[in-house]
Amino acid sequence: MTANNPQNRYDYDVVVIGAGHAGTEAAAAAARLGAKTALLTTNLDTVGQMSCNPAIGGVAKGQIVREVDALGGLMGEAIDATGIQFRMLNRRKGPAMHSPRAQADKKAYQNFIKYRIETQDNLDLRQETVEDLITEPIADGQDRLANQRVVGVRVRGDAVYHAPTVILTTGTFLQAIMHTGKSQSAGGRAGEGTTAGLSGALNRMGFTLDRFKTGTPPRLNARTIDYSGLEEQPGDDDPQPFSYLNDAISSPQMACHIAHTNERVHDLIRANLDRAPMYSGQIDSRGPRYCPSIEDKVVRFADKSSHQLFLEPEGRQTCEVYVNGISTSLPRDVQDAMFRCIPGLEKAAIMRYGYAVEYDYCPPTQLWPHLESKSVSGLFFAGQINGTTGYEEAAGQGLIAGLNAARTAASQTPWVPSRQDAYIGVLVDDLVTSGTDEPYRMFTSRAEYRLLLRQDNADRRLTSQADELGLIDAARRERFHQKLAEIERGTELLKQAKFQPETGPTVRGDVYLRRPEVTWDVIAEQVPELASIGREAAEQCSIDIKYAGYIDRQQAEVHKQSRHAEKSIPVSFDYDKIGPLRNEAKEKLTKVRPLNLGQAKRISGITPADLALVLAHLENNSLSQTKSSEPDDNRASSDNESSRPTSSASDSL
């Protein structure tokens, strides 16, 4: 829809549509940068709501939360304040695999996020139903690819929010349909509606849309569960916080429990597969491979006689229990019957039935690495609309989109963390370079340099950059610099200390600490000055010393891989002019528009030979421009530069 001048007009720098995990992080980030920001949601009572599982973090996801926090985001502080059980996963493995996870009090978490949004400077939270996007054409030559720019949104009641940047964080609500057995209803979450109008607007603007599905399990009443025969799963004795602003978790923890399915349950599911929307043909969208429904588990793992179910309390002030591991869209009567077959749950009362949701998403190869649309200037996308799944992935994207929308509105260059800087960098690069044919979930295996991207050092990787960008406040800055000073002091104390091993000559403390059997506590017993070093700083000193060789080798590999990867490719680069380049390569490179050779290398189907041809063509063009002495050549060189500015961080993708 083109712009007009209605009476009810509100002017902003950034408008964010949707107040879930992506939308709240996006709006808060933009506002922290000083952008006048509006966050629009159809229901103020669902701001920051956990639509599915009542937990934050997990393998690789916990690393993302730590990165969001290191960049000044909300999620880490929220879960620290409202968590009811904290666990560090993979403690028996190396530090690169340690991943924090916490159960949340769902309502308390939601209220924490909402209050932080309500009290954030430069941010207005409004209950509005967005019905359309407003754009205007871009004159020829003003942008290499985009032929239109967003200028605002129209909401129900014929009011307009005018802004040069808009962020879509619509989650699972685009033309969403919920399924329970044969029953279908419009909506992206139980009790809520859908946003069909925005799908129409995106179609009208030329975006490609596709469909995914996700699901959620039933919720049970804790009073009707027999816990006596179930395995208890307690939290850690020394719960670790997510936020770098917190030293410890002091709130009491609640236990989770483990139950198991059995052959009776599996037989019941098999007997009713014809009534399951995923198997009856009612749903043909792709769901998350790594979080399958119980129907999928029974079919795909037919040799397994049992599957674990994790009973997770949803809060301190509620009896609702989330049954992790039994996501389903089977009919209600089958769901009732399933639980009657599970030991400990035979009398369990279902409070909310499970269901599946089909929804539209925008394949993310239509975006630049800073999450702005290639075809509509000023329009950003974050969260499940980009084909991801998970609160943490949404939060990471939201922060990047909010940051870059604010910088775009202020005519500043975008910023994106590189793959070697952050899991968020891996996430964004995977999405915009390769796309996804199933709901994307982060794993440590997706990161080439996971030894560098640990959950313990996210602040050392990102907080200095966040400070330069204006994302953090003075309190976080001061705390961060104090930690760096502690690490430096602790390292120096270790170097000065002398230890006499049982065998061999006297060695320095840092050399002694490299031994597998020697811990920080062992050394601290003999060096009283180390008692003043905080837990996090001590952990960093230990890891830096014990894993120095591995870390140095990985950093050398990063440097080696970056040599050609940093070679920039102009956005307007014409791949058709490279005669020997394969047609498939031309098509894929033109579609993705990689910003450098490193990103081009990660496009599926692009070969080393293709990259060699592109590099040779780039170098030939550069050589020709250097040799030419005509005055107009400076103009020609400028014309070959990207019209979408990039930062040095994104250039090293």
pLDDT tens-digit readout, 114-125: 999 999 999 999
Where do the H-state alpha helices sit in 284-384? 294-300, 332-340
Note the pLDDT of residue 43: 94
- Cα–Cα distances (Å) from 531 to 489, 490, 523, 527, in that order, read 12, 10, 10, 8
Element (H, E) at 324: strand 320-324
Reduce the secondary structure of 477-518 to three states and give it as a string.
HHHHHHHHHHHHHHHHHHHHCEECCCCCCCEEHHHHHCCCCC
Mean pLDDT of the 7-24 span: 95
pLDDT single digits (tens) 74-88? 999 999 999 999 999
The answer for residues whose C-beta is within 8 angstroms of residue 462's C-beta and 6 or more apart is 67, 70, 71, 417, 421, 422
Question: For the stretch 332-351, what's the b/e string if a residue is b when 16 or more beta carbons lie within 10 angstroms of its beta carbon?
Answer: eebbebbbebbebbeebebb
DSSP string, 1-61: -B----SSEEE-SEEEE--SHHHHHHHHHHHHTT--EEEEES-GGGTT--SS-SEEE-TTH
Contacts by 635-643, CB closer than 8 A, 24 or more apart: 639/572, 640/570, 640/572, 640/573, 641/570, 642/144, 642/568, 642/570, 642/571, 642/572, 642/595, 643/143, 643/144, 643/145, 643/571, 643/572
CB atoms under 10 Å from CB of 631, counted, come to 7
pLDDT single digits (tens) 183-239? 888 777 676 666 667 888 999 999 999 999 988 999 999 999 999 999 999 999 999
pLDDT single digits (tens) 323-333? 999 999 999 99
Mean pLDDT of the 167-178 span: 89
Closest CA to 513 of 494, 531, 538: 494
- Round to whole Å and give the CA distance between 360 and 382: 14
Element (H, E) at 553: helix 548-565
Judge contact between 383 and 398, C-beta under 8 A: yes
Domain spans, the chain: 219-355, 490-552, 566-651
Q: Confidence class of residue 615 from pLDDT cuts 50, 70 and 90?
A: confident
Taking the alpha carbons at both ends of the chain, their separation in whole angstroms is 35
Judge contact between 15 and 41, C-beta under 8 A: no
Q: Confidence class of residue 626 from pLDDT cuts 50, 70 and 90?
A: low
Share of the chain above pLDDT 70, in %: 92
| Ramachandran bin of 384, using left for φ above 0, alpha for ψ from -120 to 50, beta for the remaining angles | alpha
Element (H, E) at 312: strand 308-313
In terms of Cβ atoms closer than 10 Å to its own Cβ (0-12, 13-18, 19+), residue 305 is exposed
Where do the H-state alpha helices sit in 566-653? 583-592, 597-601, 608-627, 632-639, 648-651
Note the pLDDT of residue 284: 78
Lowest mean pLDDT among 400-404, 568-572, 593-597, 617-621: 617-621
Share of the chain above pLDDT 90, in %: 74
Chain centre to alpha carbon of residue 68: 9
SS3 224: helix
pLDDT at 570 over 70: yes
- Round to whole Å and give the CA distance between 530 and 524: 6
Closest CA to 123 of 58, 30, 212: 30
Judge contact between 534 and 563, C-beta under 8 A: no
Note the pLDDT of residue 605: 78
Note the pLDDT of residue 623: 60
Note the pLDDT of residue 456: 97
- Round to whole Å and give the CA distance between 148 and 53: 39
Note the pLDDT of residue 141: 55
- Cα–Cα distances (Å) from 273 to 260, 331, 350, in that order, read 20, 10, 21
Closest CA to 387 of 217, 216, 209: 209
Note the pLDDT of residue 369: 95
- Round to whole Å and give the CA distance between 322 and 617: 57
Note the pLDDT of residue 193: 65
SS3 241: coil
Torsional sign, CA 387, 392, 397, 398? positive
pLDDT single digits (tens) 276-318? 988 888 877 787 777 889 999 999 999 999 999 999 999 999 9
Structure tokens at 623: 């050589």
SS3 259: strand
Note the pLDDT of residue 634: 39
Residue with tokens 């290499």: 144
- The whole model's pTM is what? 0.89
- Round to whole Å and give the CA distance between 282 and 266: 21
- Round to whole Å and give the CA distance between 52 and 216: 6
pLDDT at 139 over 90: no
CATH of domain 490-552: 1.10.10.1800
CB atoms under 10 Å from CB of 604, counted, come to 9
- Round to whole Å and give the CA distance between 31 and 644: 23
- Round to whole Å and give the CA distance between 251 and 365: 43
Note the pLDDT of residue 652: 31
pLDDT single digits (tens) 375-391? 999 999 999 999 999 99
Question: Which residues make beta-bridge pairs with 150?
Answer: 135
SS3 616: helix
Note the pLDDT of residue 561: 76
- Round to whole Å and give the CA distance between 384 and 28: 18
Q: Confidence class of residue 638 from pLDDT cuts 50, 70 and 90?
A: very low
Judge contact between 254 and 236, C-beta under 8 A: no
Judge contact between 214 and 355, C-beta under 8 A: no
CB atoms under 10 Å from CB of 484, counted, come to 15
- Round to whole Å and give the CA distance between 31 and 164: 15
Q: What is the dihedral of CA 20, 21, 24, 28, to 10 degrees?
A: -170
pLDDT single digits (tens) 152-163? 999 999 899 999
Judge contact between 381 and 373, C-beta under 8 A: yes
pLDDT at 268 over 60: yes
- Round to whole Å and give the CA distance between 18 and 128: 10
Q: Does residue 470 or residue 172 have the better pLDDT? A: 470
pLDDT at 596 over 70: yes
Is the domain defined by 219-355 classed in CATH 3.40.50.300? no
The answer for residues whose C-beta is within 8 angstroms of residue 445's C-beta and 6 or more apart is none
SS3 541: helix
- 490-552 matches 219-355 in CATH topology: no
Which CATH number does the domain 566-651 belong to among 1.10.287.130, 1.10.150.570, 1.10.260.40, 3.10.20.30? 1.10.150.570
Structure tokens at 3: 């712009």
Where do the H-state alpha helices sit in 71-176? 75-82, 106-118
